[in-house]
């Protein structure tokens, strides 16, 4: 089959304005809990798009926490995404659960988590991940894989079982002002329910697919 022939019908479910929760956070919780319950691989993975000088870039990260205050993940603050975030705090998140025929778009502003929150999460990571945070100067050009392995070995010896959190490693939280919940439907007439922040409440609209 050639790539232009790939298409499928969506028929699993629907999303109506009257069934959507009044809170986009509760609607998000419902959908991600269903994705996790369905045992989807990387159900908590999301794309984050950032941009500097009007040049956007995207990559996947793992969602590590969510509540009404926002959506958090962890990374290297000196990475490409970290630099773009310092230049422009407006970001977009994207979740896609193919098996559930669902997509969620989120737009908002991003802030760093506190050092305390980042420390707490860092401590909960497996040892190799904590060493990895030291070994990898994320997004820098390196000569080869052996360089990385040598750095990991160096920090494993230096810190043994207790690597501290590197200063340039920590969390971010995305504070949303727009959500869109997409549910695939028959004949390309998909459901799209958008929540846009209006002072302290959320306006809910249906968008054309």
42 binds ligand FMN (CB under 6 A): yes
Token duo for residue 130 = 């904590």
Contacts with ligand FMN by CB under 6 A: the residue count is: 15
**Residue 58 beta carbon to ligand FMN: minimum distance, rounded to whole angstroms:** 8
Burial of 126: CB neighbours in 10 Å, binned 0-12, 13-18, 19+: exposed
194 binds ligand FMN (CB under 6 A): no
Query: Between 15 and 92, whose beta carbon lies closer to ligand FMN?
Result: 92
Query: Between 14 and 57, whose beta carbon lies closer to ligand FMN?
Result: 57
Q: Which of 59, 130, 145, 188 is catalytic?
A: 188
Of 21, 52, 80, 125, the residue at the interface with ligand FMN (CB under 6 A) is: 80
**Using H for helix, E for strand and C for coil, what is the string for 5-39?**
HCCCCCCCCCCCCCCCCCCHHHHHHHHHHHHHHCC
**Residue 166 beta carbon to ligand FMN: minimum distance, rounded to whole angstroms:** 13
Q: Specify the residue for token string 């695939």.
A: 184
79 binds ligand FMN (CB under 6 A): yes
> What are the phi and psi torsion angles at 207 (to 5°)?
-110, 150
Query: If you count them, how many residues does the chain have?
Result: 209
Q: Is 8 a catalytic residue?
A: no
Of 75, 103, 118, 183, the residue at the interface with ligand FMN (CB under 6 A) is: 75
Partner residues linked to 69 by β-bridges: none
The Cβ of residue 15 has, within 10 Å, a number of other Cβ atoms equal to: 19
**Residue 60 beta carbon to ligand FMN: minimum distance, rounded to whole angstroms:** 4
> What are the phi and psi torsion angles at 197 (to 5°)?
-70, 130
Tell me which stretch binds ligand FMN (CB under 6 A): 60-68, 92-100, 142-150, 185-193.
Answer: 60-68
Token duo for residue 47 = 């794309």
d(CA 189, CA 194): 16
Q: In a 3-state reduction of DSSP, which class is residue 78?
A: coil
Of 40, 49, 52, 61, the residue at the interface with ligand FMN (CB under 6 A) is: 61
Query: Between 73 and 202, whose beta carbon lies closer to ligand FMN?
Result: 73
192 binds ligand FMN (CB under 6 A): no
59 binds ligand FMN (CB under 6 A): yes
d(CA 50, CA 82): 9
Q: DSSP state, 118?
A: H
Q: Which residues bind ligand FMN (CB under 6 A)?
A: 42, 45, 57, 59-62, 73-75, 79-81, 138-139
């Amino acid at each position: 089959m050639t790539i232009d022939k790939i298409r499928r019908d969506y028929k699993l479910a629907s999303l109506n304005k009257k069934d959507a929760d009044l809170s986009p956070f509760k609607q998000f919780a419902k959908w991600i809990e269903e994705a996790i319950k369905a045992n989807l691989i990387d159900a908590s993975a999301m794309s984050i798009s950032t941009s500097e000088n009007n040049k956007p870039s995207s990559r996947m990260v793992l969602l590590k926490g969510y509540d009404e205050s926002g959506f958090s993940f962890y990374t290297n603050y000196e990475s490409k995404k970290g630099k773009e975030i310092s230049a422009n705090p407006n970001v977009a998140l994207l979740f896609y659960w193919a098996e559930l025929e669902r997509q969620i778009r989120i737009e908002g502003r991003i802030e760093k988590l506190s050092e305390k929150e980042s420390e707490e999460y860092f401590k909960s990571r497996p040892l190799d991940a904590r060493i990895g945070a030291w070994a990898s100067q994320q997004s820098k050009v390196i000569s080869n894989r052996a360089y990385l392995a040598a750095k990991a070995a160096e920090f494993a010896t230096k810190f043994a079982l207790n690597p501290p959190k590197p200063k340039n490693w920590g969390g971010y939280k995305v504070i949303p002002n727009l959500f869109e919940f997409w549910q695939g439907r028959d004949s390309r007439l998909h459901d799209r329910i958008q929540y846009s922040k209006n002072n302290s409440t959320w306006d809910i609209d249906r968008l054309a697919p």
